[in-house]
Amino acid sequence: MKQNLLKKMLLWVGLIPNSRFIAKQLTQPFGSKAEKFGKLMNKANDKLYKNIIDILEIKDGEEILEIGFANGRFFEKLFKKNKNIKVSGVDYSEPMVKIAREYNEDLIEDNKLDLYYCSSNAMPFESKKFDKIFCINLIYFWENAEENLQEIFRVLKPGGKFYACFRLKDCLNKLPYTRYWTNLYEVDDWISILEKNNFTDINKIIINEHQVEMMGHKVQLKSCCTIAERV
């Protein structure tokens, strides 16, 4: 009882962030707290990153795009797997792009990595450019999944693959801030959206993350990574 009152007071004076603020930061990190939220995401998503790096099966010479890279900590993991690749990234949070550019300065100078401040529904790339496109914890924020998927389809090479990694609706519903996000998905809902947008050969990998600390909440998490091909 006393603890609840203390929490309410801390929320009221702004000493702990409320759910709406957390939701907004995770959707599009902004202002002076963006850097802190970037680091919190790295901590909460570490297990997921380790799985995804293997799922991507990076091969020599591939052109790869990450959408929603936030503070850009995943790029070094890609290059650790295979140095002989070319990587691009897009994110529509200005502070995140700045922080990611600073963190990955050497890769950018070596012409191995290009980072863009833009939205995934209008990307500054020629058609059929990428062998692989991936996103981690992004699809919940799309107001119109269709227009984003069409743009991804456009910039993927024929035979190229799109990897979408996301936490499942059932477990995200246990976190108070996810009610402010646009869309949560179960696996089949998401797969039917991919199919409607002409992706084929869709496979799914379920990742059991067990207990994860998410912005101060301990939850049992389950994620899915869909792998879909562009004809």
List residues binding ligand SAM (CB under 6 A): 26, 28-29, 41, 45, 67-70, 90-93, 96, 119-120, 136-138, 141
Cβ neighbors of 28 (< 8 A, separation 6 or more) are: 92, 93, 141
CB of 152 to ligand SAM, least distance (A): 11
Shortest distance, CB of residue 87 to ligand SAM, whole angstroms?
14
Which lies closer to ligand SAM via its Cβ, residue 96 or residue 224?
Answer: 96
Question: In whole angstroms, what is the distance from residue 157 CA to residue 38 CA?
Answer: 31
State the first-to-last Cα distance of the chain, in angstroms, to the nearest integer.
58
DSSP state of 149: H
| Nearest of 89, 119, 152, 163 to residue 27 by alpha carbon | 119
Nearest residue to ligand SAM, by Cβ distance, number only:
68
Q: Which is nearer to ligand SAM, 2 or 210 (CB)?
A: 210
- Report in angstroms how near the CB of residue 42 gets to ligand SAM at its nearest: 6
Q: Which of 107/225 has CB closer to ligand SAM? A: 225
Q: Nearer to ligand SAM by C-beta: 120 or 197?
A: 120
Cα–Cα distance list, 86 to 101, 157, 206, 218 (Å): 16, 15, 28, 37
Cβ 122 to ligand SAM shortest distance, Å: 9
